[in-house]
Structure formats: C-alpha cells, structure tokens
Amino acid sequence: MSDSLGNAAPETGAFFPRDRRWHPPALAPGYKTTVLRSPQRPLVAFSNTLSEMTGPAFGHSLLGELDNDLIHNFARPGESAQGPRIIVHGRVLDERARPVPGVLIEFWQANAAGRYRHKKDGYLAPLDPDFGGCGRAISAEDGSYAFRTIKPGPYPWPNGVNDWRPAHIHFSVFGSGFAQRLITQMYFEGDPLIRHCPILATIPDPAAIEQLIAPLDLGATIPMDATAYRFDIVLRGRRSTLFENRLEGN
Amino acid sequence: MPQALHYLKETPSQTAGPYVHIGLLPNFCGLQGIYPSDLGSRLVNERTLGERVSISGRVFDGAGEPLRDCVIEFWQADHAGLYPSPSETRGAADPNFAGWGRVGADPATGIYRFDTIKPGRVPFPGGGLQAPHVSLWIVARGINLGLNTRMYFSDEADANAGDPILARIEQKSRLKTLIGERQGDAYTFDIRLQGADETVFFDI
C-alpha cells in the first residue's frame, strides 16, 4: 500500500538504544498530568526484532497539493490564514548524521492568537476562519522537508495558576522502523516563555532543550513574503552492519 | 584528543498534548476538509488474507480513569508473518494489508477499537519464532515519550509459552498484562499505566 522509495537499499539494521536521559522522564511532577500517566515499573528492554526494525512507508501519492501549506489548506477561496507568514524547513537525519528520506512528517499547531481548532480548547482568543492547523510532508532524498504556515501564538493552560506555553509547532515523525516513531515540539528562537515552560522543563539537559529551538533562518526567507525558521530532526540511528553475520530470517 | 565520532543526539520527545487529534486524526476530531480521510483508519480491505479479528479496550491512568484523549498506533505482520515495510527483506507482504493503523480513544468512553487480521509468526534474531503479536505505541497528554508495548493472543498459549520476549519478563504474574483475551472474533486488550496490574512497557 505504498509507493516505491527509489533505489536506495532498505534499512535493516538494529537501532541504537534510546538515550532515555536525553528525553524527558515519564514522571515529571512539574507537568502535573504526568503524575497519573507515567508507568512506575522499569521498562523491559530487549534487542530489536523485525517487529521493531520494520515500519510503515508512505508514498507521495498520499499528499494533497496544499498539505504543506497551512496558510491555505483550510482557507476560504481567495483568503489566507492570519498571522506572521513563515516557512519551516530542515532535514530529517539519523544519529549517524545520514539523511532519512521518504519519511512522513505531520505537524499541528495553534493559530496566530494561540487558539486550537479543537472542542477541548476553551481559550478566549478567537478562531481564525481561514486556519485549520495541521499539515504534512514527506522528506526528500536528502532528508529535507519544508512547509508554509503562520507563526502560532502562545497560550495559557491549566497546570499552575499562570502557566503559558511558548509558541510551538507539534511534529510527528516516522522513520524506517517502528522503533523510531517520535513526537516532539518545535519552539522559536528568542521566545521568553521558553524558560518558564513546565513541559520544556521536563527535559533534564539544557542542551537537549536547545535542540528543540528553531533559529530564524534569514537565508531561507522569501523577501516580501515569509520569514523562515530551520528545524532539523534527528531520529534513532541504525547499527552498521559491517562484519555482521547474516542472521537467520534476514 | 582522539578523533571525534560525530554522532548526533536523537531529537528529544515532547508530549503529544491534548490537541494531538488535530495533527494525527483531524477528521476524527471534527476538522474536516484538509485530508480526505484520517491516515491509518483502515488496515484491511475486502481482499486481505487472514483471519478477521478486532482488538479493543481502554487505557487507564493511575486513578483508574480511562484516557479519553489518547492516540494508539499499531504495527503488525500480515497473516504469513511478513511486514509490509521496505525494511522487510524476506519477501513481499500481502499487498492488501497495511500493517499499520492509528486510532483515537472515544472522547466519551475512552474505548479504542481497530479491525485487523491475526498476524503470523515472525522470526526472532538468532533463531526461533516469536508468538503472534501486535506492537502498540501510545501517546497522549501527560505522556512525555510514547509508550511501547505488545499485545499477544490468548488463544496462542503454546506459542506464547515459547516467546523469547515474554520470556524476558521476570515477574510471571505480569505476563497477563500483555495478553488480549479472545471472545468470538474480538480481543479485549486494556492497558494500565500504573497500579498493581500495570502493563509491561518495553524499552525497544
């Protein structure tokens, strides 16, 4: 049920173990919802089998013409979403710094006023009739991706009495194996709410937080149209198969 | 100083948040007109080979409340134990089977459900076969990094007894948390994030 991904040899090695000290822990009491939703027993670890090393692939035929344009993909004819027009672009790489081509990237976000088009969002900021809030793209042969959108607004949320989310875009990324599946959030350089965010603060290492902050990329802006932010995404790498015996079933 | 190795660090995970449906299941949450249908809503079609079954259940938090806002993804082999993936090198899987699916918990009841086929057995590295199983990945508000688990099938007791992954679980009383219970063509598989019957989650 997928298109061909070109002539590249399929990725079949086992993945590097996940560095769980780099990710936020399941239990992070400053983000209150984690308290009752965090498993408390140790995870059971095992080496990858085919069930973890394989994963679904999605072809370009999945994509609609405006899937990578949130400014227009929900707008009425002749209209466009309100807010600062931006381009978000980058590359999907693995931990060995190799491009990861052909992977589906999905993104979703609030509108320029900080409001989501979702029945659970009760923020008093207005909906934008020309903004839906989701899009998707597939990485190219060099791992690159890009989409147009508007810069989302910050918004309050019921965690502490006065907690605000910095402006952010949610990313969902597939790899070539199910064990690479990842959801994260991209933040914007210079946002003063970043250092007050309880969800970002679940990440223990400041260098890991910085990995989620996209810099302004003037080199990719389009004059008189849109500014640009660059966000590279790194997925788990696969072990090299140098000198490895061919395993039964491989 | 030795030469630098130049490995990169994996992008840190962040919670999928309460509005995950906008991105992953827009039609499911009433955001229509952007995608013709939600990705992963159908694993099978009328020509898919294998025994038709459904899997449903709920995900419970530490207070015993069902999560009404979680999203679950599934990944499984076809009826013959082949994965429909470019990384599958043993042969071509059933072209009428997607292998991957995605569902949202019902916003009122928390129940998830998907229709699929019973998977075949998949080899284990180094020899032997795994028991039939479905891999699951659970994301939601309050889950900082997606949770990986597996569902095995209650009517495969012999295969389950010889499964090398189940054998890794030291507390045998916890094995039942990974078994979907069969009734007719339907399996029930509840997931508990905490408590005495906390589901076994994997570091894969």
DSSP A85-114: EEEEEEEEEETTS-B--S-EEEEE---TTS
> Could you tell me which residues are beta bridge partners of residue B44?
B97
Catalytic residue, chosen from A116, A117, A123, A196, is A116
pLDDT of A247 above 60 = no
pLDDT of residue A176: 94
**Residues in Cβ contact with A233 at an 8 Å cutoff, skipping those fewer than 6 apart:** A90, A91, A92, A93, A105, A171, A173, A182, A184, B11
Mean pLDDT of chain A: 93
Cα B201 versus chain centre, distance: 11
Q: What phi-psi label fits residue B105: left (phi over 0), alpha (psi between -120 and 50 degrees) or beta?
A: beta
Q: In angstroms, what separates the C-alpha of A92 from chain B's closest C-alpha?
A: 10
pLDDT of residue A7: 54
Query: How confident is the model over B113-120, as a mean pLDDT?
Result: 98
Q: In angstroms, what separates the C-alpha of B185 from chain A's closest C-alpha?
A: 24
Place of tokens 């605000």: A164
Q: In angstroms, what separates the C-alpha of B89 from chain A's closest C-alpha?
A: 6
pLDDT of A140 above 90 = yes
pLDDT of residue A2: 42
Is the predicted ipTM greater than 0.85, yes or no?
A: yes
Residue A119 in any domain: the answer is yes
Residue A180 in any domain: the answer is yes
pLDDT of B49 above 70 = yes
Helix (H, G, I), strand (E, B) or coil at B182: strand
How far apart CA A145 and CA A172 sit, in angstroms, is: 13
Residue with the bigger pLDDT between A11 and A52: it is A52
Helix (H, G, I), strand (E, B) or coil at B74: strand
**Residues in Cβ contact with B2 at an 8 Å cutoff, skipping those fewer than 6 apart:** none
How far apart CA A145 and CA A137 sit, in angstroms, is: 7
Catalytic residue, chosen from A89, A168, A236, A238, is A168
pLDDT confidence tier of residue A3, bands split at 50, 70 and 90: very low
Residue A86 in any domain: the answer is yes
**Chain B neighbors of A33, CB-CB under 8 A:** 141-142
Residue A51 in any domain: the answer is no
**Chain A neighbors of B8, CB-CB under 8 A:** 93-97, 234, 237
pLDDT of residue A248: 45
8 Å CB contact of B165 and A183: no
Catalytic residue, chosen from A23, A117, A170, A196, is A170
The answer to whether residues A128 and A148 touch, using CB atoms and an 8 Å cutoff, is no
8 Å CB contact of A93 and B8: yes
pLDDT of residue A12: 79
Chain B, nearest residue to A16 by Cα: B204
Helix (H, G, I), strand (E, B) or coil at A156: strand
Residue A233 is given by DSSP the state E
**Residues in Cβ contact with A191 at an 8 Å cutoff, skipping those fewer than 6 apart:** A154, A166, A167
Mean pLDDT of chain B: 97
High-pLDDT (> 70) share of chain A, %: 92
Task: Give residue-wise pLDDT tens across range A105-124.
Answer: 999 999 999 999 999 998 99
**Chain A neighbors of B201, CB-CB under 8 A:** 39, 41, 43-44
Burial category of B37 from C-beta neighbours within 10 Å (exposed 0-12, middle 13-18, buried 19 and up): exposed
**Chain B neighbors of A18, CB-CB under 8 A:** 10, 203
Q: Report phi then psi at A20, rounded to 5.
A: -75, -10
Residue A225 in any domain: the answer is yes
pLDDT of residue A240: 78
Residue with the bigger pLDDT between A250 and A65: it is A65
pLDDT of residue A106: 98
Is residue A89 part of the annotated active site? The answer reads no
Which amino acid appears at position B114 of this protein? F
How far apart CA B39 and CA A57 sit, in angstroms, is: 12
Report the number of distinct structural domains present in chain A: 1
pLDDT confidence tier of residue A13, bands split at 50, 70 and 90: confident
High-pLDDT (> 70) share of chain B, %: 100
Residue A143 is given by DSSP the state S
Residue among A70, A56, A225, A45 nearest A150 (CA): A70
Chain A, nearest residue to B100 by Cα: A56
Residue A5 in any domain: the answer is no
Residue A111 in any domain: the answer is yes
> Could you tell me which residues are beta bridge partners of residue B138?
B72, B147
Residue A173 in any domain: the answer is yes
Catalytic residue, chosen from A31, A145, A155, A229, is A155
How far apart CA A52 and CA A1 sit, in angstroms, is: 19
Best mutation target, A11, A34, A50, to test chain B (most B CBs within 10 A): A50
Q: Report A:95-114 residues touching B (Cβ under 8 A).
A: 95-97, 106-108, 110
Query: How confident is the model over A138-161, as a mean pLDDT?
Result: 97
Q: Which of A33, A41, A247 sits opposite B141 (nearest CB)?
A: A33
pLDDT of residue A245: 53
Instruction: Give me A92's structure tokens.
Output: 């999907």
> Could you tell me which residues are beta bridge partners of residue B103?
B72
pLDDT confidence tier of residue A244, bands split at 50, 70 and 90: low
Domain enclosing residue A185, as ranges: 57-235
Q: In angstroms, what separates the C-alpha of B91 from chain A's closest C-alpha?
A: 10
pLDDT of B109 above 80 = yes
Pairing relationship of beta strands A155-157 and A163-165 according to DSSP bridges? antiparallel
**Residues in Cβ contact with A63 at an 8 Å cutoff, skipping those fewer than 6 apart:** A136, A137, A138
Task: Give residue-wise pLDDT tens across range B152-198.
Answer: 999 999 999 999 999 999 999 999 999 999 999 999 999 999 999 99
Residue among A15, A42, A107, A215 nearest B204 (CA): A15
Domain enclosing residue B32, as ranges: 20-192
How far apart CA A130 and CA A19 sit, in angstroms, is: 41
Report the number of distinct structural domains present in chain B: 1
pLDDT of B86 above 60 = yes
CA atoms within 13 A on the CB side of A101: 13
Instruction: Give me A188's structure tokens.
Output: 């914007």
CB proximity A235 to B under 8 Å: yes
The answer to whether residues B198 and B177 touch, using CB atoms and an 8 Å cutoff, is yes
- The CATH number for A63's domain is 2.60.130.10
**Chain B neighbors of A29, CB-CB under 8 A:** none
Chain B, nearest residue to A31 by Cα: B142
- The CATH number for B77's domain is 2.60.130.10
pLDDT of residue A4: 44
DSSP characters for A198-232? TTGGG---HHHHHTTEEPB-GGG-BTTTBEEEE--
8 Å CB contact of B95 and A178: no
Helix (H, G, I), strand (E, B) or coil at A9: coil
Q: In angstroms, what separates the C-alpha of B191 from chain A's closest C-alpha?
A: 11
CA distance to A43, A44, B174, B185, B193, per residue, from A40 (Å):
9, 12, 14, 33, 8
CB proximity A34 to B under 8 Å: yes
Task: Give residue-wise pLDDT tens across range A182-235.
Answer: 999 999 999 999 999 999 999 999 999 999 999 999 999 999 999 999 999 999
Q: Which H or E run includes B158?
A: helix B157-161
CB proximity A81 to B under 8 Å: no
